[in-house]
A and B are shown apart, each in its own frame.
Chain A
């Protein structure tokens, strides 16, 4: 019952989720009584393999082809490795790049795929836990058969200790260049702006609950009065109500202030990824079942248009 886990890297750095995938992979291998193999594809595979050769791993396979992630290379390499190591379980990080090849490789292998898994139990049949409805509910899913793939949500598993005694081998993989139809030509960083929220100690953050652009004055007023920096969830930035450097979350800033006040923000996983490291999280939301309350220290179930003016008054008065 061999497990194949795939590492992830970008611009010369192994990403944190790779060692988390080792931990989850070990759990899966233990559940099913098998070995854990790890694939590292493209980039500085020698250096990456050294880190990935944790004691929890049996063998690390290096695929030395190209520099950066390319979904055609990953799809081919993972498909071939899965077959050649005799794997029956595949574990991939649930990241933007993970989701750019996991559906393809599982299609080719004809195995079921469960994405964004936060927990699983594979003693016997696989039962995977994942959220639905923006985190409002959790579900337990049964997966048919003994072969399957899961993509694991980042930061749900502890990272394995780096380095150790695992075997490191060159993978026996042939990449067919004629099957590569996309080319990465570079990277661009999103524009920076007047503030860098990752440095902020106090953030007032506003979400779609604000309803209209004109209402933003109220929150700017609050941030001013409190001497806090203004952050936002993605929809406000998508609407161009606020510049990109104000976006907190997976594709925006990761922030670690002393206090983070989330106002009218539901707490979708991609937002939470950027702010769960705050010391104290205060949530103001009309919806008592909003997932933001699952991680908040202080909860206010209420209408921001009632609570925020009172809060401004508290400090102006």
Chain B
């Protein structure tokens, strides 16, 4: 049995950043493994550790060469090997259109033929929250979005899981495999990569492919959504900033609290 996990390298702007054109300038961006994918990786790796029948966990990413550093982190945490797909037509669109990402991921899933796929609920940077379900439906598979408890029965090939809804309510659901699960934070405790894991990751395979290699036509990944403008949002409140050093700021907050009558 094989498990596939999708991993995205996400960009995070530094505290002070500038927008040039319709992008945050590259020098203000830091890159990291998407938080939700960290939990998805852990869920996949644990499934393998707990079941002899699971032979392999394969990581898949759509991203430029830079993202290999991030993919190595997933390899260091127990993913066995990785596939990275990238091609010119994907530049720009990869943060805008879940369906075009799903086309590429589906091609890799079909080639790898796993039993289960884990994705994150959302990517920290673009937060489309849509790629996992788009992928499942494209494959004609089952799915469940926002899974925060997961139990898979290998014999019946049924997943018993909880989906985290709003307001502290969880839905208890059974889903038939093959299926895609979008994993929510808190479902497990993602491990830190051990030194040994980091060393081993250096020799694990990252297969690099372009659209031709995975058999996807450039027209299928053309984003139908285009970014026109990016700006810092206007404040919705008239925030009154308390200036000065820490002591003055604390005094200012204290005054507000006394004023509101909540503390003396």
Interface residues of A (CB under 8 A from B): 10-11, 68-69, 71, 75, 94-97, 99-104, 106-108, 112-116, 127, 131-145, 181-190, 201-202, 226-228, 234-235, 237-240, 244, 250-254, 258-259, 261, 279-284, 286-291, 293-303, 306-311, 313-315
Contact = CB atoms under 8 A, between A and B. Distances in A.
Interface stretch (B45-53, B56-64, B83-91, B239-247): B239-247
A68 B127 CA distance: 27
Interface residues of B, number: 87
B218 interface: no
A184 B249 contact: no
Given A289-B17, A314-B254, A280 B263 contact: no
A228 B247 CA distance: 21
A71 to B, nearest CB: 7
B232 A141 contact: no
B210 interface: no
B15 interface: yes
Contact of A182 (B125, B142, B262): B142
A306 B246 contact: yes
Interface in B158-212: 162-176, 179, 185-186, 189
B102 interface: yes
Nearest to A105: B137
B145 A144 contact: no
Output the residue of A115, A237, A309 with the most chain B CB within 10 A: A115
18 contacts: A96-B145, A96-B164, A103-B102, A116-B128, A133-B12, A134-B124, A143-B225, A183-B174, A187-B170, A189-B168, A190-B170, A234-B186, A240-B189, A282-B256, A289-B17, A294-B235, A297-B237, A298-B252
Contacts of B102: 103, 107
Given A133-B125, A297-B237, A100 B229 contact: no
Main secondary structure of the interface of A (DSSP, over half): mixed
Contact of A299 (B146, B229, B240): B240
B86 to A, nearest CB: 21
Given A115-B128, A183-B174, A311-B254, 9 more contacts: A96-B166, A104-B133, A104-B136, A107-B99, A115-B129, A288-B15, A290-B15, A298-B256, A311-B253
A190 B169 contact: yes
A142 B174 CA distance: 38
Interface in B86-104: 95-99, 102
B253 A289 contact: no
Contacts of B163: 96, 100
A123 B29 CA distance: 35
A286 B236 CA distance: 20
CB-CB nearest 10 A-B residue pairs: A310-B250, A238-B186, A306-B246, A104-B137, A103-B134, A112-B224, A190-B168, A103-B133, A314-B254, A140-B229
A313 B176 CA distance: 58
Contacts of A279: 260
B155 interface: no
Output the residue of A68, A103, A136 with the most chain B CB within 10 A: A103
B134 A314 contact: no
Given A107-B137, A293-B235, A310-B249, A142 B228 contact: yes
B261 to A, nearest CB: 8
A13 to B, nearest CB: 11
Contacts of A254: 167
A299 to B, nearest CB: 4
Contact of A228 (B172, B256, B262): B262
Contacts of B129: 94, 99, 115-116
Contacts of A101: 133
Nearest to A106: B99
A116 B168 contact: no
B84 to A, nearest CB: 23
A243 B125 CA distance: 27
Contact of A295 (B125, B167, B236, B261): B236
A143 to B, nearest CB: 5
Contacts of B250: 307-308, 310-311, 313-314
Contacts of A75: 137
Nearest to A289: B15
Contacts of A253: 168
B230 interface: yes
A201 B263 CA distance: 11
Contact of B134 (A104, A139, A143, A302): A104
